[in-house]
Structure 1
Amino acid sequence: MVELGGFHHVKLPVSDVRKSLEWYRRVLRLDVAIEFVEAGVLRGVALRDPAGTVMLALREEPRLAAGLSGFDPVALGVPTLEALRAWADHLDALGERHGKIAEGSVGWLISGLTDPDGIEIRLYTTRQR
């Protein structure tokens, strides 16, 4: 039988890997799991959440990052509405702009959170109600 077991990782292009790394660490609380250094220069990183459930990679590709500005390629799962409220509080404490918690097609979400390149990262409950 052919099976899939979820995502291994998602890779996003960024214009400045160091600037984006700082944002993803500070805002989404992701930690560096792997650094990709080429010719002595940091060109990418793989980031993981403290629970080890999410792997997000950032790759320095300015032209591609510009093309994704304003688009929402990633929705990160949050277990409950209460946890989503805690994320809203965290984002507010950091002064990060984001939309209000809204009812989505399945569950609840926070939209409008954008990384330094304008790529939207959504937070979405994984439990429907």
Structure 2
Amino acid sequence: MTTAAITGIHHVKFPVSDLATSRSWYERVLGLQVHLEFEDDDGVVRGVAGSVPGMGELGLALRENPEAARGFAGFDPVSFGIADKAAADAWAARLDELGIEHSPVIDATAGWIVSFHDPDGIEIRLYSFAMHGRDQTGRPGYGRPVRVRTG
């Protein structure tokens, strides 16, 4: 008998308003390597899926859906993992080279973050697995440990 268990994340899918524009951007900025194209009933390619170097088995997909893309603008649906502060600094430098506007390297709740936006305004966050060890409890907008209720 198998156990009903989640074993990981298969892929992340972003809604986009213009597939060609977003595909080019994700290829240039994140190194997306497209392996699959998805046609609608009318024969027009409205989605792509592939991989991003460093993300292991996790896939990345883009699906043309302008209404959903507008709804995601300004929101960060996923944070991609990076190693540490040095990686955050390297990404900030890479984004500068590409002319992509981004946040400074931020001391987040547990590690370091660099944030930027795709062509539809969806926020992409690169969050370090390494922790900085600072207690951010009490800072507005930062997480805090869950409080256990007694009684």
* TM-score normalised per structure 1: 0.91
Equivalent AA in structure 1 for residue 124 of structure 2:
I
Higher alpha-carbon deviation: 83-92 or 96-105: 83-92
Equivalent AA in structure 1 for residue 43 of structure 2:
G
**Could you say if the C-alpha distance between residues 106 and 52 of structure 1 is closer, same or farther in structure 2, counting changes exceeding 3 Å?**
closer
TM-superposed CA distance for 1:127, in Å, is: 2.2
1:126 matched to 2:121? The reply is: no
If you compute each CA radius of gyration, which structure gives the higher value, 1 or 2? Answer: 2
TM-superposed CA distance for 1:50, in Å, is: 2.4
1:18 matched residue in structure 2: 20
1:48 matched residue in structure 2: 51
Structure 1: 5+ residue stretches without partners: none
1:5 matched residue in structure 2: 7
TM-superposed CA distance for 1:51, in Å, is: 3.7
Equivalent AA in structure 1 for residue 81 of structure 2:
G
Question: How many pairs does the alignment contain?
Answer: 128
Secondary structure at the aligned position of 2:14 is classed as strand
Higher alpha-carbon deviation: 4-13 or 43-52: 43-52
- Paired with 2:6 and 2:104, the residues of 1 have a C-alpha distance of 33
- Paired with 1:52 and 1:118, the residues of 2 have a C-alpha distance of 22
* TM-score normalised per structure 2: 0.79
1:114 matched residue in structure 2: 117
Q: Structure 1 vs Structure 2: percent identity of aligned residues?
A: 48
- Paired with 1:57 and 1:108, the residues of 2 have a C-alpha distance of 25
Structure 2: 5+ residue stretches without partners: 133-151
Secondary structure at the aligned position of 1:10 is classed as strand
Secondary structure at the aligned position of 1:90 is classed as helix
- Paired with 1:51 and 1:35, the residues of 2 have a C-alpha distance of 22
Deviations 1:70-116 (A, max 9, x none): 111121111222122111111000110000001111211012x1111
